[in-house]
């Protein structure tokens, strides 16, 4: 989508125009009392979008009443996303947006909602052009919004698009090698250094978790290292991200048991996609932080060569793990990445993963489950960022008693807990591989959507990109 910014002195051409402001700001754009009364009566009926047509001009006036959402910014994004739906249903291509209230914040949230809602994944339709949204051109008329602010917003939104594209790609289009290739290409364009460890290097590093999960695969695993290191970063020790890159999760020999539970498992690299998206947003906006992302990648397949329940594997940090469920594979590849992170002596590590069905059962699609060893202040910062961008987090208990559930009779620990507290025992497993302040973010619920939810589109929502960007922006 092309987005252009003009000041309000510019003549607004005829066509479709959306006005953003309040009732008094709108009066000067209306031609008579009848229109004003009509607009007011519609607003009083709690209509958030009122359309007024005059010959060649189609005008939309908006307000942001919404009892279902408590967050004021989100109310604005929600109306923005609704407008996008309306424009596409009417096959409109070009839209003018007038900042009638001279409020750059409101315009920003509105454009964010509009832009994010206009995403589509259409490459697998023969008649792709027909499937694409018609809306593809936005002209903003504002005296309050700065060009830099708009650019920053669009960079983040495009990073969300990038992450959604990665997540939505099925295994047939994105295996571990193809993922690495995509990361390399993208890194090159954005001055992110991307290093991909080959299977041999992964072996030399003793990443037994990643290698075990990969045993059943037709293809080698990859271990991707993305580094953004600007000239004068604010942090001495790097921040780090780790993303789960399971490009397809069949469950392995502990094959996914319930009906349809495998259907969405191309999304099991959503963590990797979000981490790559966040790196892209950080680099495009030139944030002065030193940050490194690690993405272990493979599929989890059933084959004669696959790892099986009962196997004991030696992990990157030397711990032995008894595998009692090959479907608890995410924690095995993440554990190796987390212990590999140690060599960078990180300030803080955040991992993002579609790790457990339990997390999704607990809180659904409206937030992610977090836990870890970082200080309360860091959790509070993340929580605040989550509220701002409306990618909210819920902190779960992380008591040591849960470690009991991971005791193995034959090795240092086993890779599953019990039937209870599945999201937490997964986190407790990961903790054994960390020696620095760390937060685990289980995005199993919100990152995979079976239907769109406002501007979060169906399929991979890229939930987490905006959260991470906001969080790291607040670090500077």
Q: How far apart are CA 107 and CA 279, in angstroms?
A: 25
CB of 441 to Zn ion, least distance (A): 15
Q: How far is the CB of 291 from Zn ion (least distance, A)?
A: 25
- Interacting residues toward ligand BES by CB under 6 A: 249, 268, 325, 327-330, 354, 356-358, 360, 416, 422, 444, 448
Q: Least separation, in Å, of the C-beta of 265 and Zn ion?
A: 7
Residue 362 binds: one of Zn ion, ligand BES, Mg ion, none (C-beta under 5 to 8 A by kind): none
For 111, the token pair is 């454009």
Residue 284 makes contact with Mg ion by CB under 5 A: no
Any bridge partners for residue 60, and if so which? Answer: 18, 51
Query: Of all helices (H) and strands (E), which one includes residue 154?
Result: helix 147-168
DSSP string, 158-200: HHHHHHHHHHHS-TTT--HHHHHHHHHHHHHHHT-EEEEE-HH
Binding of Mg ion by 249 (CB under 5 A): yes
Return the one option of Zn ion, ligand BES, Mg ion, none that residue 356 interacts with (CB less than 5 to 8 A, by type): ligand BES
Indicate whether 221 belongs to the interface with Zn ion (CB under 5 A).
no
Annotated catalytic residues are 256, 331
282 or 295: CB nearest ligand BES:
295
CB of 312 to Mg ion, least distance (A): 19
| Residue (250 or 385) nearer to ligand BES, CB | 250
Burial 338-351 (b: 16+ CB within 10 A, else e): bbbbbebebbbbbb
Q: Which is nearer to ligand BES, 280 or 368 (CB)?
A: 368
Q: Is 65 exposed, middle or buried (0-12, 13-18, 19+ CB in 10 A)?
A: exposed
Restricting to residues 316-335, name those near Zn ion by CB under 5 A.
330
Task: State the CB neighbour count (10 A cutoff) for residue 317.
Answer: 20
Does 327 sit near Mg ion (CB under 5 A)? yes
Residue 289 or 358: the one with the smaller Cβ distance to ligand BES is: 358
How far is residue 45's CA from residue 207's CA, in Å, rounded to a whole number? 61
In whole angstroms, the minimum distance from the beta carbon of 170 to Zn ion comes to 15
- Sorted by sequence, the CB contacts under 8 Å of residue 430 that are 6+ apart come out as 331, 334, 335, 338, 351, 440
| Residue 99 touches which member of ligand BES, Mg ion, Zn ion, none, C-beta under 5-8 Å by kind | none
Q: Specify whether the CB–CB gap between 52 and 30 falls below 8 A.
A: yes
Tokens of 461: 């929502």
CB 350 to Mg ion: min, Å: 21
Contact status: 249 vs Zn ion (CB under 5 A): yes
Relative to beta strand 393-395, strand 312-314 is: unpaired
Q: How far is CA 382 from CA 73, 77, 113, 334, 440, in A?
A: 17, 21, 21, 21, 12
Indicate the residue among 152 and 329 with the shorter CB distance to Mg ion.
Answer: 329
Q: Which does 227 bind (CB under 5 to 8 A by kind): Zn ion, Mg ion, ligand BES, none?
A: none
Tell me whether residue 20 or residue 334 sits nearer to Zn ion (CB atom): 334
Sequence-ordered strand ranges (E) for 55-112: 57-62, 94-98
Enumerate binding residues for Zn ion (CB under 5 A).
Answer: 246, 249, 268, 330
Residue ranges that bind Mg ion, judged by CB under 5 A? 249, 327, 329
């Amino acid at each position: 989508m092309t987005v252009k910014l003009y000041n309000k002195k510019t003549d607004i051409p005829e066509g479709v125009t959306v006005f953003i402001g309040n009732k008094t700001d709108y009066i000067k754009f209306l031609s008579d009392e009848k229109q004003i009364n009509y607009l007011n009566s519609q607003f009083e009926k709690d209509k958030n979008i009122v359309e007024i047509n005059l010959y060649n001009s189609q005008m939309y006036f908006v307000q942001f009443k919404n009892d279902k959402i408590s967050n004021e910014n989100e109310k604005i994004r929600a109306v923005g996303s609704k407008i996008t739906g309306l424009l596409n249903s009417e096959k409109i291509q070009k839209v003018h947006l007038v900042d009638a209230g001279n409020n750059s914040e409101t315009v920003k949230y509105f454009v964010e909602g509009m832009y994010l809602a206009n995403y589509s994944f259409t490459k697998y339709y023969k008649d792709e052009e027909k499937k694409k949204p018609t809306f593809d051109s936005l002209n903003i008329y504002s005296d309050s919004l700065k060009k830099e602010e708009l650019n920053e917003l669009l960079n983040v939104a495009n990073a969300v698009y990038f992450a959604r594209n990665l997540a939505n790609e099925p295994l047939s289009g994105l295996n571990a090698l193809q993922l690495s290739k995509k990361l390399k290409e993208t890194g090159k364009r954005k001055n992110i250094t991307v290093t991909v460890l080959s299977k041999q290097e992964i072996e030399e590093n003793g990443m037994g978790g990643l290698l075990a999960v990969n045993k059943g695969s037709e293809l080698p695993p990859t271990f991707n290292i993305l580094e953004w290191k600007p000239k004068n970063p604010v942090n001495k020790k790097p921040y780090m991200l780790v993303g789960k890159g399971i490009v397809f999760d069949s469950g392995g020999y502990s094959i996914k048991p319930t009906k349809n539970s495998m259907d969405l498992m191309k999304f099991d690299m959503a963590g990797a996609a979000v981490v790559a998206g966040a790196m892209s947003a950080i680099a495009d906006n030139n944030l002065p932080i030193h940050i490194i992302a690690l993405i272990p990648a493979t599929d989890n397949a059933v084959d004669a060569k696959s790892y099986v329940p009962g196997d004991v594997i030696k992990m990157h940090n030397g711990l032995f793990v008894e595998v009692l469920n090959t479907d608890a594979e995410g924690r095995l590849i993440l554990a190796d990445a987390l212990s590999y992170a140690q060599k960078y002596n990180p300030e803080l590590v955040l991992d993002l993963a579609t790790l457990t069905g339990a997390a999704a059962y607990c809180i659904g699609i409206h937030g992610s489950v977090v836990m870890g060893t970082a200080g309360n202040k860091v959790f509070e910062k993340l929580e605040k960022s989550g509220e701002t961008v409306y990618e909210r987090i819920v902190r779960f208990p992380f008591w040591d008693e849960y470690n009991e559930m991971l005791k193995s009779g034959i090795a240092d620990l086993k890779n599953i807990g019990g039937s209870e507290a599945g999201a937490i025992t997964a986190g407790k497993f990961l903790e054994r591989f960390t020696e620095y302040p760390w937060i685990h973010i289980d995005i199993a619920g919100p990152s995979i959507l079976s239907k769109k939810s406002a501007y979060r589109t169906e399929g991979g929502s890229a939930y987490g990109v905006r959260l991470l960007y906001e969080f790291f922006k607040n670090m500077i």
